Chains A and B, each alone.
Chain A
Amino acid sequence: MTVRRIALLAVAVPLLAACGGGTHDATKHLLIVVNAPFSSTPYLGRAIENGTRLAAAQVNTIGVRVGNDHYLLTVRTMDTGLSPARAVANVRRAVSDGAIAIVDEGTGVDASWRVAERRGVPICIVFAGGRSLVDAATRPNVFRIAPTDHGVAFRLAEYLIPKHVKVALLHDDSDYGTAGAKELKRAFDGDRASVAIDETLPADALDLSPQILRARRAHATALLVWGRPATIASAITAARSAGWNVPLYTPPTGADPFVRQQLADHPSWVDGLTFAAGRLTAEVGAGPFTGFTQRYAAAYGVDRVGVHTSAGAAVTEPPETPMYAYDFVNLLAAALTKAGSTDPAKITKALEEVTVEGANGDERAFNHSSHEGVVDDDVYFARFHDMTYTPVKDDPLSATLPAISQTQ
């Protein structure tokens, strides 16, 4: 008999407890998932993870109060291996595990956003710049803090066309290169006379000499190479080894450490390479970004490129991608407070209403009509010299930006 009573009580007590309300101050945890290619491009995966963890650690110093509850942020990583299918599976698991947000490299978002959207979970892309990935109207839970392909292409056209150069538009056949080619076509549509040739490069080819030769025969006076870092390194090698000292322009992948590593034996070939990327500093100067770099280095060490300047100094990589992940987590914390709820759908709506000071000292925000955290105007140009780069002086925005230390 007693056993039966105990059994009844065992059923009743949890039910009664579930009916109860009231206030309690116990610290709870909120899960943020980093969905990135840790196995295939470990540098990128780690950069996203570290930026996320750094911001979460800082938020956790005081935590986030929502109503009567106190929360700490927990970060979990999931590897996409650059596979869209794995990326989607990861998002499915993250959502079922109760994640309140996903920080994503961008692979598979075309499918994974729907999985997350069912629970209203926000996804923030911090690397891929494809135009179709983010649309505030049709993908309400997808945000991005990274330069868009559209912005980079538009700014490159804005920068090159007034120089009256004949540009060879070269792009590789990777997803990244194909998406970039579409944006370059749009950007240069208004002045096709400035385009000497439009050429597709095989992403895996080691020797791009034939394609570069075709560009030279088309009387190109500048090369704009949109592709993976390996493609850019191969294009530089093909041009310079043929003795063609043509100016080279690239999207942000031109600054990837891999390009310099590949050309470490010919540092002069890198000289003059100009790339477009998201600005690292704001009007207030280099102070905020330098402070962020120091905090990042203190937590995770310096990211070494693996090459040296002519004076023998080791070249380091400024934490650009970590900055984007870091800024998103801070926006997320602000949105949690604004929403007054841990319901992901409410957090997603609140993300459109909050502004934080970004790691570079600039305003970082989304809004109802735009989920882009880096506006096109924030794309600047930098040029390599001696394995490090400085903002160019012949562009209004870039001319206002200070150089960032890149040696140790």
Chain B
Amino acid sequence: MTRLVAAAVAALACTGTAHAAQRIALPSPIAPLSAQPPLAGGAHRSAENVAHSVSASTNVAVAIDRSGTPFSVTATQRLDVRGVGDYFFTIGAPVLAVRATADSASSPGMRTGSILWAGFNPGERLLVARATLEPAQAVPALPLRVLVSGHTVTLENTTTVTVETFTADAPRPPLIAYLSLLRGEVEHGRTPLQTSVPLASTPANVRMTVTAPLHVTGTIGARHVDLVLARRTEVRGSGRIDLRAEPIEHVDAVTPADGRALLREAIRATLVLARANQYEEFLGNPDPAGSSRTVYAYRTASPPHAAPVAAVGRERRTWVETALFVAALAAVLAAGAALWARS
């Protein structure tokens, strides 16, 4: 996406004074801003004649130790599949084990790096997989970091990313209209659309840092938590942690700013939506147009204690055996040489 924006900026820059007549595409509010999430390349469906409509909801359970370090990640994904016909879905994930839940209409398959669903949908079908994920690969894609230090728990939003974008002067009315539209679409739970806007000056490259805000609720010990986490916050408290984090998809009301500031606001709004959308798709959705929602639950738990590794006895020669082996080998070689010389 960064390359696309840069290309658009470059193309517009070449047009020189003709910029006033040019339009430029704003960033997509749904295109991912980094490699993951979704994990392991996301979800795909194989080419079939039927395009199923799929709504995905995922609960990610993160078990953390007393210091807040995750040691286990389990994702339960529910796919509500609509439409008559065959389906063959591949859900990318660093999966260690997977099983169906009791309410699943079918059982998932597992491959290295993916969960598989295959079958025939008579019209409506609920597919539910509970997958144990490889923590080393799943943890970097989580949106929240918990750090426990004494009686202070630090909550850190880890969705921040810096991307290349552009700035320019722009007429206000189209930007106001788009921001209002974007706000309405998000409030009604609809997938927002990308748009282009006219510019009033030559665009210039800038870097923008965006973060998907998180709604964090739950408890830390006896303390109730309900906050919007933009970057980082400290909460006084200790004891068992039980928190839920959900990405927030929200667009602020339009401010009375000039065209340049409004353009920056529109770009930021779309990028923040894109980032939030990314974290809503932790395991992806095989239907690119389908809705996705993910809730991340962090709970204190006891890490499993590794069983003591028994000393593995290996067949090794003693020095005496080695010496005997070398001597025998030398004798065989000497005998062979003598035989050769006499022949």
Interface residues of A (CB under 8 A from B): 1-2, 4-5, 8, 282-284, 352-353, 362-363, 365-370, 375-378, 396-397, 400
User: In the bound complex, how far is the Cα of B109 from the Cα of A362, in angstroms?
Assistant: 17
Which residues of chain B have C-beta atoms less than 8 A from A353's C-beta?
111-112
Q: Are A375 and B118 in contact (CB under 8 A)?
A: yes
Dominant secondary structure of chain B at its interface with chain A: mixed
For residue A389, give the distance in angstroms from its CB to the closest CB of chain B: 19
Does the CB pair A368–B339 fall under 8 Å? no
**Which single residue of chain A is at the shortest CB-CB distance from B107?**
A370
List the B side residues contacting A5 at CB < 8 Å. Answer: 340, 343
Task: Tell me if B242 counts as interface (CB < 8 A to partner A).
Answer: no
B247 to chain A, nearest CB (A): 31
B123 within 8 A of A: yes
B111→A363 contact, CB < 8 A:
no
- A396–B339 Cα distance when bound, in Å, is 84
With an 8 Å Cβ cutoff, the count of chain B residues facing the other chain is: 28
CA distance A370 to B99 in the complex (A): 11
Contact B111–A368 (Cβ < 8 Å) = yes
Which residues of A lie under 8 Å from residue B336 when comparing CB positions? 8
State the CA gap A367–B86 with chains docked (Å): 18
User: Whose C-beta in chain B lies nearest to the C-beta of A7?
Assistant: B343
Bound together, the chains give a CA A366 to CA B98 distance in angstroms of: 15
Q: Are B122 and A397 in contact (CB under 8 A)?
A: yes
Chain B, 119-140, CB within 8 A of any chain A CB: 119-120, 122-123
Report the number of A-B residue pairs with Cβ-Cβ less than 8 Å.
65
In angstroms, Cα B86 to Cα A94, docked, is 38
Q: Chain A contacts of B112 at CB under 8 A?
A: 353, 368
CB-defined contacts of B109 to chain A, threshold 8 Å: 365-370
Assess whether B119 is in contact with A378, with CB atoms less than 8 Å apart: yes
B106 at the A interface (CB under 8 A): yes
CB neighbours (8 Å) of B88 from chain A are: 363
B340 touches A284 (CB 8 A): no
A-B contacts, 29 of them at CB < 8 A, read A1-B342, A1-B343, A8-B336, A8-B343, A282-B86, A284-B48, A284-B49, A353-B111, A363-B46, A365-B109, A365-B116, A365-B118, A366-B109, A367-B109, A367-B110, A368-B112, A369-B98, A369-B109, A369-B110, A376-B106, A377-B106, A377-B118, A377-B119, A377-B120, A396-B84, A396-B122, A397-B120, A400-B84, A400-B85
A283–B86 CB distance below 8 A: yes
CB proximity of A136 to chain B, nearest CB, Å:
9
Chain B positions within 8 Å of A362 at CB level: 86
Q: Which residues of B contact A377 (CB under 8 A)?
A: 106, 118-120
Interface check B50, CB cutoff 8 A? yes
Pair A378/B116 contact, Cβ less than 8 Å: no
- Within 8 Å of chain A (Cβ to Cβ): is B108? yes
C-alpha spacing A108/B2, complex, angstroms: 60
Residues of B within 8 A of A400 (CB): 84-85
Contact status A283-B116, CB under 8 Å = no
Query: What distance in Å separates the Cβ of A392 from its nearest Cβ neighbour in chain B?
Result: 14
Contacts of A352 in B (CB 8 A): 111
With a cutoff of 8 Å between Cβ atoms, the chain B residues found around residue A283 in the complex are 48-50, 85-86
Interface mask (B91-122 → A, CB under 8 Å = 1, otherwise 0): 00000001100000011111110001011101
User: Considering the chains assembled together, what is the distance between the CA atoms of A213 and B225 in angstroms?
Assistant: 72
Please, what's the 1-or-0 string for B15-45, where 1 marks a CB less than 8 Å from any CB in chain A? 0000000000000000000000000000000
Distance A2 CA – B343 CA, assembled complex (angstroms): 7
Q: Which residues of B contact A1 (CB under 8 A)?
A: 342-343
| B contact residues around A370 at 8 Å (CB) | 107, 109
| Known interface pairs A283-B49, A400-B84; A378-B343 also in contact (CB < 8 Å) | no
A356 CB, min distance to chain B CBs, angstroms: 12
A377 to B122, CA, bound (A): 9
Q: Which of A8, A353, A375, A378 has most chain B Cβ within 10 Å? A: A375
Set of chain B residues within 8 Å of A2, measured between Cβ atoms: 343
With a cutoff of 8 Å between Cβ atoms, the chain B residues found around residue A369 in the complex are 98-99, 107-110
Assess whether B120 is in contact with A378, with CB atoms less than 8 Å apart. yes
In angstroms, Cα B85 to Cα A396, docked, is 9
What's the Cα separation between A138 and B174 when bound, in Å? 64
CA of A378 to CA of B48, assembled, Å = 15
Give A291 to B84 CA distance when docked, in angstroms. Answer: 25
Given known contacts A367-B110, A368-B110, is B343 in contact with A4 (CB within 8 Å)?
A: yes
Smallest CB-CB separation from B336: which chain A residue? A8
Complex contacts, B111 vs chain A, CB 8 Å: 352-353, 367-368
Closest to A6 in B: B343
* A19 CA to B180 CA, complexed, in Å: 76
Q: A396 touching B123 by the CB < 8 A rule?
A: yes
Nearest residue, chain A, Cβ from B98: A369
Most buried by B among A283, A353, A378: A283
Complex: how many Å from CA A376 to CA B107?
Answer: 10
Inter-chain contacts of B46 with A (CB < 8 A): 363
Q: How far is the CA of A142 from the CA of B108 in the complex (A)?
A: 19
A400 vs B336: C-alpha distance when bound (angstroms): 78
Q: How far is the CB of B111 from chain A (nearest CB, A)?
A: 5
Extra 12 A-B pairs, beta carbons < 8 Å, given A363-B46, A375-B118, A376-B119:
A1-B343, A4-B343, A8-B343, A283-B85, A284-B48, A352-B111, A353-B112, A369-B98, A369-B110, A378-B119, A396-B84, A397-B120
